[in-house]
Structure 1
């Protein structure tokens, strides 16, 4: 049996602007690990030392000149902070508007309409919203296709997302806000819950290191069980609960304390803030 990773169906020259950063670096690493040829990927960055270390580790090519890097790119992935995206796009616009490569943005909050203004009409743009577990290969990436995006373009973006987890396409751009509320910001919800469990166990007398070890392993086990099972999470919860038992009492306390309603309100606030940020960044 071969240990070689599977080859991708389509291989295009991809340029990651800001490619040595955490998220873009995770995506590049996932692509290479899953069989995408490293010599078809270029990462750009301003920090030469960091870029050199990254390219040595991954085998991809590096370039500190963004315009030179995208000169023959078929796919341009934008991975810089939202606050500097407009300036970057205006720098790239002459080349991008002339050749119209597929542009995939990993930045949160900026709507497709803004990229179209900054890069020029007719440029195919895909918004990708990965979450931080992508850095360990278990991410979720929400995807939205702007006007002019073809099935082949969508296939490229799906390959990229699948390399670090799973992909979910949304039909309306507002759907990205819902993806952010569930999976984009979702890891922080679980970290908050884990933190509270660790604190409670420590207050009850458990050594904090032991409390953290047990909490994290329990979270990992519960997630793995939920993914592997044909049962929905409500039934899995009931399977742990014996009538009038310990788990039932704990779960009832959560419910009586309003946990379901609180989660709903928090996710609604998250989606609302995502929509607000889109308007602010679109100005």
Structure 2
């Protein structure tokens, strides 16, 4: 799937401004951004629900919005699209018919999807009796029936319990491992780090170039921190740490030494060996790595959008 120079305006508001990215089979691509950044507008254009003002979306070589493209896409919106007075199985049977599935093939596919989303034992219960997390999982399942090549998920874990969140994440991992391309919007930073090579959206509806978390961190100059509580000659420990090429700065407060380093995971053994060489003992070590939340706030700003 490929997006080329997408733009979408609503009156004077530029909701999406020159967004481009591509997505390959078996890959999960994350769109992150504050509320109003244009994530849902972007994926609505990918799914063919909205037409871009300019730019193009190609779904495996076919223009988004065409019948051929829609057959390749499973779109899971934020809002639940289920019938509460039908059972889980009846809901899936209804959507299967919309996709042109019937007979034994449809029944087998429904059984498979129920197992994928973990609802096989509750298939005969009415959807209105499901928990919020179960409804979310059924919502995902309904969009898997026609075996799409691209699954588009708009914050599928919003408002559900931790167990259902984990189940949805596990489902996404398994689908990607089976070769499905997945486009995913989320506000959960830890979830994006677990699942995605994250793309970034800022508050103006533009998109950063395609980067991994580590590449974004390095681009912004964020560093790892190693905090040491030492006992002994603190001045000796500071001098030894300053001599290491990986150490960028060494602020100290009493028996606490804060090292700003390029990569804590690689240089920590070297740091400990140098600091303790002259009889200094280390009573505690804490390593803090810059995470996706750090990058997100740096790029989008900490202030609330108004």
TM-score by length of 2: 0.30
| Higher relative contact order (CA closer than 8 Å, sequence separation 6+) | 2
TM-score, normalized by length of structure 1? 0.31
Q: Name the structure with the higher helix share.
A: 1
Kindly indicate which of the two structures has a greater share of residues assigned to strand. Answer: 2
The structure number with the bigger radius of gyration is 2
